Amino acid sequence: MEKRTLGTGGLEVSAIGLGCMGMSFGYGPAADTGEMISLLRAAVERGVTFFDTAEVYGPYVNEELVGEALAPFRGDVVIATKFGFAFNDHGTQTGLSSRPEHIKQVADASLKRLRVDALDLFYQHRVDPDVPIEDVAGAVKDLIQQGKVKHFGLSEAAPQTIRRAHTTQPVTAVQSEYSLWWRRPEEEVLPTLEELGIGFVPYSPLGRGFLTGTIDANTSFDSTDIRSNFPRFTNRALQANHTLVDLLDSFAKQKRATPAQVALAWLLAQKPWIVPIPGTRKLDRLEENVAAAAVELTPDDLCEIRAAVAQVTVQGDRYPEAAERLTNR
């Protein structure tokens, strides 16, 4: 697979990464550990070198899974993880925390769980309004100087926050949701990143599975699946939004590809410093996603897709109100 570079510090990764959250958390009961270890190693064999996790996924168990699975490939892969949440003694998330001393504690714990000497990319998971972003960036800068972290990232941060952080410690990558059915980063975030030389890592590049064409109005979600609480995944919204999938499917047939591959290829075609991280628990889906890197979209293709998508008004908010308040800050 081709490589792409995030930021100006030379962080080279595969053009398509692998989001690991769903293996342990968020999309129903956790998958079998042994099967997920095999899947992670299969991803490496197929050219994936960029893996995304976080302490909050589980919490903790996803980092442990990634650490065990990728231990044989140290030096050949890049692992991104995140800080920014607080937990009680029972491991329950209790809110945000990006106090500098907490960031340093999280870094030490993540190093152990991931079985690495340094964290390749350390994101602030959500902006903490109670801690100046300069203090957050300064704490990560200290960790970089100590050799515990290599690169600094932000997730779901607003342009002005990105600028302020970047002044204290250069930001290598920003991770935010971005796909054919959530394009708001195009308004201000992407121009800011291009100006500052920062890479962009779209999470949920397949719309949490919706853009694959495998979800419709009759799909039901387990109570442990986060989508069961998301406005965009109510039966009514799914039915209304399926027009977008139909358009994508029609175009994919012209390209002899799948809707998921076109959705990923579209993201790759936006900028050379964009690296999507689709997640999956299945080998066939992994192979499908990896193959998207070889799907070429011409300027005419991109214009056709953009024009078609512009005719669709997506129904439903992407997050419940409380979760949406944590974004773009």
Enter the tokens of residue 149: 């972290």
309 within a domain of the structure (yes/no): yes
CATH label of the domain that carries residue 120: 3.20.20.100
77 within a domain of the structure (yes/no): yes
123 as an active site residue: the answer is no
**From CA 244, how far away is CA 205, in angstroms rounded?**
14
DSSP structure string for 31-44: PPHHHHHHHHHHHH
In this predicted structure, what is the pLDDT of residue 227?
A: 97
pTM of the model: 0.98
155 within a domain of the structure (yes/no): yes
176 within a domain of the structure (yes/no): yes
- The range of the structural domain enclosing residue 86 comes to 3-324
Q: Could you give the C-alpha distances from 279 to 41, 74, 86, 262, 321, in angstroms and in order?
A: 14, 21, 25, 16, 24
55 within a domain of the structure (yes/no): yes
Longest C-alpha distance within the chain, in Å?
Answer: 55
**From CA 315, how far away is CA 318, in angstroms rounded?**
9
When divided into structural domains, the chain yields a total of: 1
**From CA 69, how far away is CA 40, in angstroms rounded?**
6
Neighbouring CB atoms inside 10 A of 143's CB total: 24
In this predicted structure, what is the pLDDT of residue 286?
A: 98
Return the exposure string of 231-252: e unless at least 16 CB atoms fall within 10 Å of the residue's CB, then b: ebbbeebbebbbbbbebbbebb
Per-residue pLDDT of the chain (329 residues; tens, 9 = 90+): 999 999 999 999 999 999 999 999 999 999 999 999 999 999 999 999 999 999 999 999 999 999 999 999 999 999 999 999 999 988 899 999 999 999 999 999 999 999 999 999 999 999 999 999 999 999 999 999 999 999 999 999 999 999 999 999 999 999 999 999 999 999 999 999 999 999 999 999 999 999 999 999 999 999 999 999 999 999 999 999 999 999 999 999 999 999 999 999 999 999 999 999 999 999 999 999 999 999 999 999 999 999 999 999 999 999 999 999 999 99
Enter the tokens of residue 254: 């012209």
**From CA 198, how far away is CA 214, in angstroms rounded?**
33
Torsion of CA 31, 32, 37, 43, to 10 degrees: -40
Taking a C-beta distance cutoff of 8 angstroms, is the pair 66, 114 a contact?
yes
**From CA 179, how far away is CA 123, in angstroms rounded?**
20
In this predicted structure, what is the pLDDT of residue 234?
A: 96
**From CA 211, how far away is CA 249, in angstroms rounded?**
9
Neighbouring CB atoms inside 10 A of 32's CB total: 12
Q: Which of 118, 109, 106 is nearest to 11 (CA)?
A: 118
Neighbouring CB atoms inside 10 A of 43's CB total: 27
Query: Bridge partners of 121?
Result: 80
Q: pLDDT tens digit string along 269-312?
A: 999 999 999 999 999 999 999 999 999 999 999 999 999 999 99
223 within a domain of the structure (yes/no): yes
How many CA within 13 A on the CB side of residue 297?
23
Q: pLDDT tens digit string along 181-223?
A: 999 999 999 999 999 999 999 999 999 999 999 999 999 999 9
88 within a domain of the structure (yes/no): yes
329 within a domain of the structure (yes/no): no
